[in-house]
Structure 1
Amino acid sequence: MKAIAVRPGQPNSVHLAEVPTPSMASIPDGRGVRVRMLRVGIDGTDKEINEGLYGAPPPGEEILVIGHEGFGRVEEVGSEVSDLSPDDYVVPMVRRPGGSLYDRIGFPDLSTDETYYERGINFLHGYLAEEVVDDASYLVKVPPSLKEVGVLVEPTTVAEKGWRQAVEIQRRLRLWRPQRTAVLGAGTIGLLATLIFRLRGFDVTTFARTKKPYLNTDLAEAVGARYYSTQEISLLEAANREGPFDMILEATGYSPLAFEAMEAVGKNGIIILSSVTGGDRKVEVPADRINLEFVLGNKVAVGIVSAGRDDFEAAVRDLAHAEAAYPGWLKRLLTHAVQGLENYPLLFNDLTEEKEAIKVYCDIAEF
């Protein structure tokens, strides 16, 4: 079958590959599910894997099928699968068990292993292929009403996990009631985080570089958030002028903002760091003041990576809520479609800054 793959570590090696059709026998105990991939999104992670910055093929192989934002339709189920049926729409999870304690108790997204397993990223083939076979445990059902926007489930899990971790950590405060929230970045994850926090009733300010108006600012404001361009006002200036934030989610990929957020978050506040930054950028920060204010203010900064099943299921629920609350809003995020795996070069071309894409995706098969 056809798939889009790279040779990890070799820059710009993305190509259309012919790979073996996956076998149901690869999943033990009758738990296998064959999924016809319908639509797969790509993002900066795929771009950086193609640049050779990270990523690893399955053991014994030279190529890695990329794509971790999958959406498909069930074609066949194993004898022991009772919760899925042919024609169900599903989203596959990304992170898989690697052997740590957290893996064994069902939380692979919190694995402590140095070697981790992620579909389309590390040691496991991804979803930019005609078909995949997976264990039913890692497939999350999506209602037909969300089929047009189901490809947004995986990126939504970033905000869902961030919120889940914030709630768990802030139980220490017993009466934590966040009101003012900042989202740094107005790309796919930033806008979805803006949406998720607005659905929970928070006062949300979304920050990004580009001055308004443009589509991303329209989308942020359409759900009741305010938008600031950091060319006109910085995060710290906004916090000094309007008051500190109870919660900040960083989703820009620009690491210095993490340290600016440490100055802009209020007492008992929390910063959620979701960007993967593979460079060696260095900045000077007011370290003594940041440390002092963190200690005296009971502040927290937490990093999050990947997501668990709870986050995927929460994403499905919240996207259904969003469709009812803001009809048509989610589809506006789907800005750049590429038809067919054979047109894979367009995917990476559309990811360039000049294209001003929010979500780039490949339509692999008809719905």
Structure 2
Amino acid sequence: MKAVAIRPGTPNSVHLQEIPRPSINEIEGGNGVLVKVLKVGVDATDREIADALYGNAPEGDDYLIIGHECFGVVEEVGANVKRLKPGDFVTATVRRPGGSIYDLIGTNDMTSEETYYERGINLRHGFMTEYFVDDQEYIVRVPEGLSHLHVLQEPMSCAAKAIHQAYEAQRRMKVWSPKVAYVLGSGQIGLLATLSLKLRGLEVFTLSRSEAPNLKASIVEGLEATYVSTKVTPMKELVKQTGKPDLIIDATGFSPIAFEAMECVGHNGVVVWTSITGGDRTTQVPSDKINIEWVLGNKLLLGSVNANRTHFEMGIRDLALGDVMYPGVLSKILTNPVDGMENHAEMMRLLIEDDNALKVYVNVAE
């Protein structure tokens, strides 16, 4: 069967790869689930892997099948699979366990080991293929009523985790009740974080470079949040208008802005970094000022990567409620379908060249 892969360490090596069709018997204990892939989303992570900034092939292979945002339908299940049945719509988590205590309790996304395993990213093949098999533990059912939001399940899980982790960490404050949040970046994770924060009742300002009117601004406004162009109102100017926010989620992929957020968050506040920056950019920061303000202000910086099953389920609940609260808004994120894996060159062109391509995804099968 066909798959789309890269050769790690070789820039611009995206190609079609022939691989064997998998079997549920590859998974021990009768826990295998065979999934027919319907759609796969791609994002900046896939672009950076294609640029050979990171990503490694599984042991024994010289290629890495890409794609970590999947949506499919169950075709076959093992004898001991209880959660799923043929015909169910599903997505799949991305991180796979290593050997740390965190991996052993199902929080693979919090591994303490230097080596990590992520499908489509590092040392495990991804989902951009006709079929894949995995353990039922990593397959998450998607309600049929959310099938129109298909590949948003994985990025939604990342947004849900980032916000959940902030609240979990802030239990230290006993009565932390944030009122104002900034979301930096209006890509898919930024927009979905905007949704999740609105559902929690916060006043949300979503910051992006582009001036309104534009599609991202219309989505933010459709979620009843406030869109702010940093070309018009830089973040430090916005702080003068709103006061320092209690929570900042960075989803820009631009490290200078991530560090600038440290100067803008309020006392007892949290900055969550979700960006993966694969380059070698450097930036200067007012380190003494940040140091004293963070110590005296009891501020917290939190890194959040990937998501486990719990966060996928949280994200699905947020998508379901958000789709009802703000009908028709979330589907606007799904901007650029590409028909068929053989059109992988067009997929990459959209990722690299089209600034208006908010969410690129491949229609693998009907």
Q: Which TM bucket (shorter chain)?
A: over 0.9
Alignment-derived partner of residue 116 in structure 2:
116
- Report the equivalent of 1:193: 193
Partner of 1:58, secondary structure, is coil
Query: Amino acid of the residue matched to residue 170 of structure 2?
Result: Q
Residue in 1 that maps onto 2:289: 289
Task: Structure 2 unaligned segments of length 5 or more: list them.
Answer: none
Within 5 Å, which residues of 2 pair with 1:228-307? Answer: 228-307=228-307
1:241 is displaced (CA, Å) by 2.9
The amino acid that maps onto 1:93 is T
Q: 2 CA distance for matches of 1:94 and 1:8? A: 18
Q: Distance between the aligned counterparts of 1:295 and 1:247, measured in 2?
A: 17
The answer to whether the 8 Å contact 2:95/2:306 transfers is yes
Q: Does 1:336 align with 2:336?
A: yes
1:227 CA displacement: 1.0
Measured after TM superposition, the shift of residue 353 of structure 1 is 4.7
SS in 1 for 2:181: strand
CA distance in 2, matches of 1:219, 1:313: 23
In structure 2, C-alpha distance between the alignment counterparts of 1:163 and 1:16, rounded to whole Å: 37
Q: State whether structure 2 residue 50 is matched by structure 1 residue 67.
A: no
Measure, in 2, the Cα distance between the counterparts of 1:208 and 1:192.
14
Alignment of 1:86-97 (within 5 A): 86-97=86-97
User: Offset at 1:355?
Assistant: 4.1
**Cα distance, 1:255 vs structure 2:** 0.3
Amino acid at match of 2:83: D
- Give the TM-score normalised by the residue count of structure 2: 0.99
Secondary structure in structure 2 of the residue aligned to 1:164: helix
Residues 1:102 and 2:93 aligned together: no
Structure 2 counterpart of 1:199, which letter?
Answer: L
Match of 1:160 in 2: 160
Give the 3-state SS of the residue equivalent to 1:147 in structure 2: helix
CA distance in structure 2 between the aligned counterparts of 1:44 and 1:96, rounded to whole angstroms: 21
Aligned counterpart, 2:149? 149
Instruction: State the Cα deviation string for residues 345-367 of structure 1 (Å, max 9, x = none).
Output: 1111111353411110001111x
Aligned to 2:322: 322
The answer to whether the 8 Å contact 2:64/2:120 transfers is yes
Give me the whole-angstrom Cα distance separating, in 1, the residues matched to 2:188 and 2:283.
26
User: Kindly tell me: are residues 63 and 229 of structure 1, through their superposed partners in 2, closer, same or farther at Cα, counting changes over 3 Å?
Assistant: same
Please report how far the alpha carbon of residue 22 of structure 1 lies from its aligned counterpart in structure 2 after TM superposition: 1.1
- Residues of 2 paired with 1:85 and 1:99: CA distance? 30
Please state whether the residue corresponding to 1:293 is helix, strand or coil: helix
1:29 and 2:61 correspond: no
Instruction: Single out whichever of 127-136 and 279-288 deviates more from structure 2.
Output: 279-288
Name the aligned partner's letter for residue 117 of structure 1: Y
What is the CA RMSD across the aligned residues, in angstroms? 0.9
Q: Confirm or deny: 8 A CA contact 2:47 2:352 kept in the other structure.
A: no
Residue aligned with 1:282, SS: coil
Contact persistence 2:250–2:273 (CA under 8 A):
yes
Identical-pair percentage: 51
Question: Structure 1 counterpart of 2:104, which letter?
Answer: R
Alignment match, 1:57? 57
Name the TM-score, length of structure 1 as normaliser.
0.98
Q: What residue is the counterpart of 1:207 in the other structure?
A: 207
Corresponding residue of 1:178: 178
* Number of the residue aligned with 2:15: 15
* Partners of 2:42 and 2:69 within 8 A in 1: yes
Distance 1:195 1:165 in 2: 16
Kept after mapping to 1: 8 A contact 2:163/2:193 = no
Q: Residue 259 of structure 2 contacts residue 285 of structure 2 at CA under 8 Å; is this kept in 1?
A: yes
Which secondary structure state, in structure 2, belongs to the residue aligned with residue 72 of structure 1?
strand
Q: Deviations over 1:301-355 (max 9, x none)?
A: 0001110111000111111111111111121111000011111111111113534
Give the counterpart letter for 2:90 in structure 1. V
Secondary structure of the equivalent of 1:352?
A: helix
Question: Which ranges of structure 1 fall in alignment gaps of 5 or more residues?
Answer: none
- The 4+ residue runs of structure 1 with deviation greater than 3 A are none
One-letter amino acid matched to 1:205: F
Q: Equivalents in 1 of 2:207, 2:259: separation in Å? A: 15
Deviations, residues 94-131 of structure 1 (Å, cap 9, x unaligned): 00101111001111000011111000011111000000
1:280 is aligned with what amino acid? D
Paired residue secondary structure (2:275): coil
After superposition, the Cα gap between the structure-2 partners of 1:145 and 1:177, relative to the gap in structure 1 and judged at 3 Å, is: same
| Equivalent residues of 2:53, 2:279 under 8 A apart | no
Residue in 1 that maps onto 2:76: 76
Cα offsets for 1:157-198 (capped at 9, x unmatched): 111111111111100001000010000001111111111111
